[in-house]
Amino acid sequence: MKLEHYSDLLDTDLTATAWQSELTEQLEAVFAHPSHGYFNKWLAAVDSLPKAISADFDFTKDAAQVGHSDDLDPEQLADILNALKTLSPWRKGPFNYCGIAIDSEWQCQQKWSRFEKHLGDMHGKRVLDVGCGNGYYMLRMLGAGAEQVIGVDPGLVFLAQFQAIIQTLKQRPNTHLLPLPFEQLPAGLNNFDHVLSFGVLYHRRQPQEHLSQLHDRLQAGGTLYLETLILETEEHCELVPEDRYAGMRNVWSIASPSFIQHQLQSAGFEDVECLDQTTTSLDEQRASAWMTSYSLENFLDPNDHSKTIEGHPAPVRGLFRAVKAN
């Protein structure tokens, strides 16, 4: 990955001079001292993939599409497949890469279908996607009409997957993935129309602090869309797992909708709504040829799928909308 991939972001009016300088230093540090030992292997795979071969894309489809099968040299197909598989596991998706179906673990089009009906007109909007993974929702936001989408996620394999998808296009869409922890973004970067935080809150030791940080990123009147694990109850309560939840060690808090709504209000949001509650199905999250390790089915009680293997309620996800006051 090269700093030049971010040159147009650093030249926009989204950032002040101090932010541009700080971002440059942060990205240089990430690439000079990567946090994962496989980073150079992933970079080599990305570098081996085609670049600027197609002007065609469609981010409105369930499988976010770049290019067509005619764009690929059939003699190189095996090498291209091998390079894409080197970037496994593909957690989020699906994607259509020049006719190659990347069947991700999460079938994110299902969450998107629950979410997009609440979006409204996205034209001219700037969006920040916190914990963006490989950028699937970033591309879908562009497909919905957003002017610019910035994602932030420290996972370097996600950055490699994102770059593999984006570099296929002759003209780069107005989107960038910053391989940084959300907390490292400069405090003054607060002019986004929408902020997304999907599947992040329960991984935070201090969820209230995280909500306040999300609030700070929005411009006045901006909207937060928060998706997180919830307890499916009308009670005002919170579950703090002692050890693991559905096999995950880093789940610190799962709360009821009313509890989360109160947290959002305490962070300064108004017009707080819970828009959707959905139990995660084995169709929405499952192993695939592009993510071959354990998935949701392995962490549910085999005799009672309403419970995790630890005896907690099975995953239910709530979608919330909240507005920063003018």
| Cβ density class 79-95: b for 16+ within 10 Å, e for less | ebeebbebbbbbbbbbb
CA dihedral 119, 121, 126, 128 (to 10 degrees): 10
Q: Give me the residue label for tokens 């309560």.
A: 237
DSSP state of 273: E
Tokens read off for 324: 């920063």
CA dihedral 276, 134, 138, 175 (to 10 degrees): 160
Q: What is the pLDDT of residues 154-190, one digit of tens each?
A: 999 999 999 999 999 999 999 999 999 999 987 667 7
Q: How far apart are CA 214 and CA 233, in angstroms?
A: 25
User: pTM for this one?
Assistant: 0.95
Angle, helices 108-116 vs 136-143, to 10°: value is 40
Query: Is the N-terminal amide bond of 94 cis, ω within 30° of 0?
Result: yes
Spell out the long-range contacts of 93-97 with Cβ–Cβ below 8 A and sequence spacing 24 or more: 93/63, 93/64, 93/134, 93/136, 93/290, 94/62, 94/63, 94/64, 95/63, 95/64, 95/65, 95/66, 95/136, 95/165, 96/61, 96/63, 96/64, 96/65, 96/66, 97/66, 97/67, 97/164, 97/165, 97/168
Give the chain's residues under pLDDT 50: 15-16
Tokens read off for 141: 């936001």
Q: Give me the residue label for tokens 């694990």.
A: 229
Residue 195 half-sphere exposure, CB side, CA atoms within 13 Å?
29
pLDDT of 13? 52
User: For residue 246, what are the CA distances in angstroms to 183, 201, 251, 299, 315?
Assistant: 26, 16, 9, 5, 8
CB count in 10 Å sphere of residue 243:
7
Burial of 78 (0-12, 13-18, 19+ CB in 10 A): exposed
User: Which residues, including other chains, have CB under 8 Å from residue 41's CB and lie 6 or more apart?
Assistant: 86
SS3 of residue 104 by DSSP: coil
Phi, psi dihedrals of residue 186, rounded to the nearest 5°:
-55, 140
Query: Is the N-terminal amide bond of 89 cis, ω within 30° of 0?
Result: yes
Which amino acid is present at 267? A
Tell me the domain boundaries of the chain.
1-103+139-179, 186-326
pLDDT of 288? 98
Query: 167 near 46, Cβ under 8 Å?
Result: yes
Q: Superfamily for 186-326?
A: Vaccinia Virus protein VP39 (3.40.50.150)
Which amino acid is present at 128? L
Q: What is the pLDDT of residues 124-137, one digit of tens each?
A: 999 999 999 999 99
